[in-house]
Chain A
Amino acid sequence: MIDYIQPDYEVVRNKDLCVKCKVCVRQCANQVHAYDEKRDALYVDNSKCVNCHRCVSLCPAHALKIVKTDHCFKPSANYTEDIIKDIYRQADSGGVLLSSMGTPKSYPVYWDKMLINASQVTNPSIDPLREPMEIKTFLGKKPEALEYLPDGSIKTEKYPNLELKVPIMFSAMSYGSISKNAHLCLARAARELGTFYNTGEGGLHEDLYEYGENTIVQVASGRFGVHPAYLRAGSAIEIKIGQGAKPGIGGHLPGSKIGEDVSRTRMIPMGSDAISPAPHHDIYSIEDLRQLVYSLKEATDYKKPVIVKIAAVHNVAAIASGIARSGADIIAIDGFRGGTGAAPTRIRDNVGIPVELALAAVDTRLREEGIRNNVGIVVGGSVRSSADVVKAVALGADAVYIATPALLALGCHLCRSCHSGRCNWGIATQIPELVNRLNPDIGARRLVNLVTAWAHEIMEMMGGMGINSIEALRGNRLMLRGIGLSQKELDILGIKHAGE
């Protein structure tokens, strides 16, 4: 059969620099590199290269680089190279196209169309190096009223809240889709940072129970790995209704990734595909959600906040309003540019809405209905930098979820091939030799560094605005201005245009 598809990338080796140490051969799980002993020569098979930079990064002589091929189709603005290749692939296989990580399409990134304010003259900026700058935050329902007791202390309704030292959490990535070492890195970093990581839908490995105080345990439609001890192990429980990268569909972890440990953790047979259904089969409406929320609260003595995670879709404001009345303590909104371990390409690239618009719409709606204080709001789905965090908080989020930046910190190069299970960086794989490449101590340190750096930047930006407490930034939309946005977009975001 003719292969219609030419390789996307070319591995270029500078033979003058190459010392033939063969590290590239040993490191590439995709078997791009090969050594021919007879000829004493190294060869490459470009068709296998996913452009993950493992060989490039480890080459001691800096003799390697990966370039995009200049081989081309006849240019067309309509039938682009990507579209042509996808058609060839589907004609070959007859299957649904799969992709990983967030959509690479050029949809508008609203974070980049908002600018942050700073103080001048009338109001002093505050220097975070010299003055306290507070970014601690609480997630959960707030009481409205209080009573004074005779001894002067106060009495209020008590609701379980999560206390975050930084308004950044690691978002759900399941054990199975990523390696145990990756989970260890996230757990250790969350503990050190005073924040939380999220198990995703794959259960909690027995070795990670000790990090329970910094863990959010997820209950998804497949209920993999869900049992009473699991629910009690974490500090909060997240019901996953949807994911930004693939709203409306379930998850799929191929049997090849289900080894002994994953099988035990997920409570499914080894080697069987783990396919979680599109909806929860006990949630067909909002009142069913309420029942699940309260079942989980019953199971954990009303001590843990319940998060409901939804994908950002067209009607997100009304859905969030329903969730805020369902007994949930926190709503997590996942935008359509968010990442995934595997999703049908067409869904990832075409379903859902940007998280910035979803967040603004939800925050506004909950305020209009007077129920904003019933819930915390967490947003994820392409929060890429500290500036995105500041903008999210100013639009109304209590905190953000990050996943792709966390993986990048662990060495991910966004080659978007997680679904293959052969992650050369030891992240999205279960192959022991590859998993061992990710050192949990070093990984945790890099995650702590990343979030600490962001925290410093957040404080700098807050100080510039004359704000020394994150509470005063939350929902403070006057601190944002749009740039190059239409009036409609500005109205939805609830911000003014630059210059206004």
Chain B
Amino acid sequence: MEDYEQFRQVAEKNREGNVRIPSGCAICGYFSRKGNALPASDAVNAMSYMHDRSNGLGGGFAGYGIYPDFPDHYAFHVFYDNDRAREETETFLKARFDISNMERIPTRKVYGIKGAPLIWRYFGTLLPEVKAHTELDEEEYVCRSVIHINTGIKGAYVFSSGKNMGVFKGVGYPEDVGEYYCLDGYKGYCWTAHGRYPTNTPGWWGGAHPFNILGYTVVHNGEISSYDANRRFMEIYGYKCTLLTDTEVITYIIDYLHRKRKLTLSDVAKVIAPPFWSRIEKMEEQEREKLTTLRNMYAPLLITGPFSIILGYPGGMMALNDRLKLRSMVAAEKDDVVYVSSEECAIRSICPDPDRTWSPAGGEPVIVELDKECVK
């Protein structure tokens, strides 16, 4: 018993937010341009081929278009340490949202998954009177509510908060996490997946990836050397980097540039992984002006160090490598489906005969979006 207590204390001390934990990883994602419902089991299967890129300390998945019955509801997925945290969070949510449905997220017993928290989900819309009285726009209000729960309610952690999408993550190998969450029952037009290889010993489910805020999810492989420069810039704009992970700050950067500053995603990519000055100087005037302005005005958001990320967002997916391509990332295409993965074997495991495969250059984003006629 004493041993357990000691383990718990160490685990608590070393969990995300208390220390900075670099990690290597495997990532994978696929997207149907026509909005076809693709099975989550493909993602689970693909990740099993990259088993050695994870070490059993974190795995997770994000799916889009998975809740067709509640397309306009915020789907909150929440981890609770105990019922007290759950009650407090539910009181908070019910005061602000019209909750149409709440339930335990279905799970099954899996060897290799242990220490799971209580896992609940809620489908809700913002109460009209709350919406009328806040100075903020709706998304910002929801975003701050999530941050409030995560930083203000002890033992509660909202790990998914978008509409018609959801994150499923935990401590374990990704294929076990997929099994645990019964992902074989889910379908969506886009899935992203993550297997984690942290260089530390956390045991906290909230620290697994994908990281989510509103409709954005990020899976990330790498260790960024610009972390503190990025973090300190984001904190100027009210973002609180509580997990101290790269993925968290990258998600906030994208949220800031794309949602708040309305930059196009290809320009977001040019801010975080810009071309070198030597290349910019050789560009035509208009492009040179634009890139110089972007690099200058958002200089603190440039990300250095190795990374490959897959960003999921409502209606689209973007994959991006750091500008030196210090992490492997392969893309492939078959009919209307685009695949991205750390290793090609994972893609071939679910799509043995792609129309083409390529290795996107550093800093060059792969962006896929739903065809216009397929947007519901």
Identify the interface centre among B224, B228, B237, B278: most chain A CB within 10 Å of its CB.
B228
User: Which chain B residues numbered 261 to 297 have a C-beta less than 8 Å away from chain A?
Assistant: 261-264, 267, 276-278, 286, 289-290, 293-297
Instruction: Note all chain B residues with C-beta closer than 8 A to A161.
Output: 296
- Supposing A142-B296, A142-B297 touch, asked if A471 and B305 sit within 8 A by C-beta, the answer is no
Identify the interface centre among B199, B222, B232, B264: most chain A CB within 10 Å of its CB.
B232
Is A154 interfacial (CB 8 A cutoff)? yes
Closest to A135 in B: B277
- Supposing A124-B306, A154-B294, A367-B232 touch, asked if A134 and B277 sit within 8 A by C-beta, the answer is yes
Instruction: Note all chain B residues with C-beta closer than 8 A to A154.
Output: 267, 290, 293-294
- Minimal beta-carbon separation of B147 from chain A (angstroms): 17
Identify the interface centre among A136, A146, A477: most chain B CB within 10 Å of its CB.
A146
Closest to B19 in A: A500
Q: Does A467 lie within 8 Å of B304, measured CB to CB?
A: yes
Is B360 interfacial (CB 8 A cutoff)? no
Identify the interface centre among A122, A124, A472: most chain B CB within 10 Å of its CB.
A472
Task: Tell me the bound Cα distance from A468 to B232 in angstroms.
Answer: 19
Q: Does A126 lie within 8 Å of B232, measured CB to CB?
A: no
Is B186 interfacial (CB 8 A cutoff)? no
- Minimal beta-carbon separation of B183 from chain A (angstroms): 29
User: Which chain B residues numbered 222 to 244 have a C-beta less than 8 Å away from chain A?
Assistant: 222-230, 232-233, 235-237
- Identify which of B24, B226, B277 contacts A472 (C-beta below 8 A): B226
Give 1 or 0 for each of A456-489: 1 = CB within 8 Å of chain B CB: 0000000001111101111111110000000000
User: Which chain A residues numbered 124 to 171 have a C-beta less than 8 Å away from chain B?
Assistant: 124, 126, 131-132, 134, 136-138, 142-146, 148, 153-154, 156, 161
- Supposing A476-B227, A476-B229 touch, asked if A466 and B199 sit within 8 A by C-beta, the answer is no
Is A256 interfacial (CB 8 A cutoff)? no
Is A14 interfacial (CB 8 A cutoff)? no
Interface secondary structure of A, over-half rule: loop
Give 1 or 0 for each of B290-321: 1 = CB within 8 Å of chain A CB: 10011111111011111000000000000000
Q: Does B296 lie within 8 Å of A373, measured CB to CB?
A: no
Is A372 interfacial (CB 8 A cutoff)? yes
Instruction: Note all chain B residues with C-beta closer than 8 A to A93.
Output: none
Closest to A141 in B: B297
Is A123 interfacial (CB 8 A cutoff)? yes
Is B324 interfacial (CB 8 A cutoff)? yes
Q: How large is the interface on B (under 10, 10 to 19, 20 to 34, 35 or more residues)?
A: 35 or more
Identify the interface centre among B295, B297, B305, B306: most chain A CB within 10 Å of its CB.
B297
Instruction: Note all chain A residues with C-beta closer than 8 A to B232.
Output: 367, 475-477
Task: Tell me the bound Cα distance from A187 to B297 in angstroms.
Answer: 29
Is A432 interfacial (CB 8 A cutoff)? no
- Identify which of A134, A146, A477 contacts B261 (C-beta below 8 A): A146
- Identify which of A372, A373, A466 contacts B304 (C-beta below 8 A): A466
Is A119 interfacial (CB 8 A cutoff)? yes
User: Which chain A residues numbered 92 to 144 have a C-beta less than 8 Å away from chain B?
Assistant: 119, 122-124, 126, 131-132, 134, 136-138, 142-144
Task: Tell me the bound Cα distance from A472 to B253 in angstroms.
Answer: 14
Q: Does B229 lie within 8 Å of A472, measured CB to CB?
A: yes
Is A75 interfacial (CB 8 A cutoff)? no
Q: Does A471 lie within 8 Å of B300, measured CB to CB?
A: yes
Instruction: Note all chain B residues with C-beta closer than 8 A to A469.
Output: 226, 302, 304
Is A370 interfacial (CB 8 A cutoff)? yes
- Supposing A136-B277, A146-B263 touch, asked if A475 and B324 sit within 8 A by C-beta, the answer is no
Q: Does B20 lie within 8 Å of A367, measured CB to CB?
A: no
- Supposing A153-B286, A372-B236, A468-B324 touch, asked if A146 and B297 sit within 8 A by C-beta, the answer is yes
Identify the interface centre among A123, A143, A367, A471: most chain B CB within 10 Å of its CB.
A471
User: Which chain A residues numbered 282 to 311 have a C-beta less than 8 Å away from chain B?
Assistant: none
Instruction: Note all chain A residues with C-beta closer than 8 A to B199.
Output: 122
Task: Tell me the bound Cα distance from A370 to B299 in angstroms.
Answer: 16
Is B117 interfacial (CB 8 A cutoff)? no
Is B39 interfacial (CB 8 A cutoff)? no
- Supposing A467-B225, A476-B228 touch, asked if A126 and B324 sit within 8 A by C-beta, the answer is yes
- Identify which of A153, A372, A479 contacts B228 (C-beta below 8 A): A479
Task: Tell me the bound Cα distance from A134 to B22 in angstroms.
Answer: 25
Is B110 interfacial (CB 8 A cutoff)? no
Task: Tell me the bound Cα distance from A123 to B326 in angstroms.
Answer: 9
Instruction: Note all chain B residues with C-beta closer than 8 A to A373.
Output: 236
Instruction: Note all chain B residues with C-beta closer than 8 A to A471.
Output: 226, 229, 295, 299-300, 302
- Supposing A138-B299, A466-B225, A475-B233 touch, asked if A122 and B304 sit within 8 A by C-beta, the answer is no
Task: Tell me the bound Cα distance from A466 to B263 in angstroms.
Answer: 27
Task: Tell me the bound Cα distance from A476 to B223 in angstroms.
Answer: 14
- Identify which of B225, B228, B294 contacts A119 (C-beta below 8 A): B225
Q: Does B229 lie within 8 Å of A123, measured CB to CB?
A: no
Task: Tell me the bound Cα distance from A473 to B304 in angstroms.
Answer: 9
Q: Does B306 lie within 8 Å of A123, measured CB to CB?
A: yes
User: Which chain A residues numbered 337 to 392 have a C-beta less than 8 Å away from chain B?
Assistant: 367, 370, 372-373
Q: Does B235 lie within 8 Å of A122, measured CB to CB?
A: no
- Identify which of B235, B296, B299 contacts A474 (C-beta below 8 A): B299
Q: Does A474 lie within 8 Å of B304, measured CB to CB?
A: no
Q: Does B236 lie within 8 Å of A367, measured CB to CB?
A: yes
Closest to B229 in A: A476
Instruction: Note all chain B residues with C-beta closer than 8 A to A153.
Output: 286, 289-290
Instruction: Note all chain B residues with C-beta closer than 8 A to A142.
Output: 296-299
Q: Does B233 lie within 8 Å of A122, measured CB to CB?
A: no
- Minimal beta-carbon separation of A148 from chain B (angstroms): 8
- Minimal beta-carbon separation of B150 from chain A (angstroms): 22
Q: Does A477 lie within 8 Å of B277, measured CB to CB?
A: no
Instruction: Note all chain A residues with C-beta closer than 8 A to B323.
Output: 468
Instruction: Note all chain A residues with C-beta closer than 8 A to B286.
Output: 153
Q: Does A478 lie within 8 Å of B289, measured CB to CB?
A: no
Instruction: Note all chain B residues with C-beta closer than 8 A to A468.
Output: 304, 323-324
Instruction: Note all chain B residues with C-beta closer than 8 A to A367.
Output: 232, 235-236
Q: Can you list the 7 inter-chain pairs with the closest CB atoms, starting with the nearest?
A: A472-B226, A478-B228, A466-B225, A471-B299, A123-B223, A472-B304, A476-B229
Besides A471-B295, A472-B303, 18 more A-B contacts (Cβ < 8 Å) are: A122-B24, A122-B199, A122-B223, A123-B222, A123-B306, A131-B324, A142-B296, A142-B297, A145-B261, A148-B264, A153-B290, A154-B267, A367-B235, A471-B229, A472-B226, A472-B302, A472-B304, A475-B233
A-B contact pairs, 26 of them (CB 8 A): A119-B305, A122-B199, A122-B223, A123-B22, A124-B306, A126-B324, A132-B276, A142-B298, A144-B297, A146-B263, A153-B290, A154-B294, A156-B293, A367-B232, A465-B225, A466-B306, A467-B226, A468-B324, A471-B229, A472-B225, A473-B226, A475-B228, A475-B232, A477-B228, A477-B232, A479-B228
B interface residue numbers (CB < 8 A to A):
20, 22-24, 199, 222-230, 232-233, 235-237, 261-264, 267, 276-278, 286, 289-290, 293-300, 302-306, 323-324, 326
